[in-house]
Amino acid sequence: MRIQKLNKATKQNLLEDLLKRSPNSYGQYEESVHAILSAVKEERDAAVFAFTEKFDGAHLDASNIQVTEAEIEDAYTKVDAQLLEVIRKSLKNIEEYHAKQRQNSWFDSKPDGTILGQKVTPLQRVGVYVPGGKAVYPSSVLMNVMPAKVAGVDEIIMVTPPGRDGKVNPNTLVAAKEAGVDKIYKVGGAQAIGALAYGTESIPKVDKIVGPGNIYVALAKKAVYGHVSIDSIAGPSEILVVADETANPRYVAADLLSQAEHDELASSILVTTSETLAQAVSDEVDKFLEVLSRADIIRKSLDNYGYILLADTMDDVIDVANEIASEHLEIQTKNPFEVMTKIRNAGAIFIGEYASEPLGDYFAGPNHILPTNGTAKFFSPLSVDDFVKKSSIISYSREALEKVHKDIELFAKAEQLTAHANSIHVRFEEGE
């Protein structure tokens, strides 16, 4: 891996380099995405079937686009029994973690008849996109679905690309069944997002679409936002490791590569105060590349967006970590909890040398659908909050309104909204 001295110039170059990975930087795909979405909106099922055959090589129609119970039962016969046990353990951890995020409606009443409050209501129907392609992600099924289940969403619709044989990977189907998905449709890409956003004869329109995908999926979610809600526009995966001389270089190298294997646009960055660690990590990376199965993808990822940055002080390390605002941030230092208190921007923070990033991907419980490309400065991980909406509650007695009606009328008239003022005034005009 390249080793660079951290200074103002290298930091700026790095930040600019990382921004190139944002879905907002791939405008050349937008015309194709809009054409797909327009076709789905106008032609509905026919467009979905045509695009599925074009892009996935699968011939589908209204009779087989939805996964059947028989297909799910068959999937169970093909899934390793030990994997199924692990899926169930992971599911329990994810459910228990997200259960702590539940919010309740609340009401605050006063003696004069004023009642203010907030009504928390689950979304009625949610669409979950689960990627296919270079890898199969049953873990993404669990992470997208469980917060929705905990929130109390009425109906969860899942879409995922089929293979050329028109089938969905058994691991994905079993994870969906275990998590409680209501319906599964064999469609991926921008056409799946269009189907969920607009509805077709076979696929119902949803209120919100969640889940990561490729650039076409990301741009499609961006385009349909407003017709439906979305969680975020996910970019390529990324990890940043903050480390000092006490870190284990083999652990650090292994963790960096855990994200580099996702795809060529993934970013893996180590920021450290130790030159010795930096060189040792680089050496360990080379050793791992000799044995890892996805070494070709990893090499391209590291060539494009892999860095080891040498900083003078831990304050400089923390400063650049907050600037990058990484999706995954590991802290492997002498006092990791102290460092954690100074981290302002990160999607998920992993503390200590045994809190490796894949622990969060698969098992610990916190969500692995995280903000990318610096958006951790203002976005949060997927949570129960993403699957509820809130209505404010207002109730006033005549006595309560009478005390303040002139104040409200004055405010409305100051904005030249006389009908607003009159709406309050008519309730007290008899006494004047």
The string of DSSP letters for 165-220 reads TS---HHHHHHHHHHT-SEEEE--HHHHHHHHHH--SSS---SEEE----HHHHHH
**Which residues does 327 contact at the CB level (< 8 Å), separation at least 6?**
237, 238, 239, 346, 347, 348, 370, 371, 372, 376
Residue tagged active-site, from 98, 178, 262, 328 = 328
- Rounded to an integer, what is the distance from CA 413 to the centroid of its chain? 45
Strands (E), 281-401: 306-310, 328-332, 348-351, 388-395
Residues 209 and 228: beta-carbon distance below 8 Å: yes
With contact defined as beta carbons under 8 Å apart, do 23 and 218 qualify?
Answer: yes
Look at the chain and count its residues. 432
Phi then psi for 360, rounded to 5 degrees? -75, -35
> Can you tell me which residue has the tokens 């026919």?
46
**Token digits of residue 374:** 């610096």
- Calpha distance 238→70 (Å, rounded): 38
Geometric angle at alpha carbon 226, from 222 and 229, rounded to 5°: 75
| Distance from C-alpha of 184 to C-alpha of 138, rounded to nearest angstrom | 13
Longest CA–CA span in the chain (Å) reads: 89
Residue 294 neighbours by CB distance under 10 Å: 16
Backbone φ, ψ for residue 48 (5° rounding): -60, -45
Place of tokens 């994905």: 172
Query: Which one of 178, 238, 284, 327 is the catalytic residue?
Result: 327
Residue 148 identity (one-letter amino acid): A
Question: Of the candidates 136, 174, 143, 161, which has an alpha carbon nearest to the alpha carbon of residue 58?
Answer: 161
Backbone angles phi, psi at 4, to 5 degrees: -130, 145
Alpha carbon 93 to chain centroid, angstroms: 18
Active site residue 323: no
* Pair of tokens at residue 205: 């329109």
Report the alpha-carbon distance of residue 146 to residue 102 in Å, rounded.
12
Residue 63, amino acid: S
Active-site residue flag, 328: yes
Cβ neighbours of residue 133 under 8 Å, at least 6 residues apart?
161, 214
Active site residues: 327-328
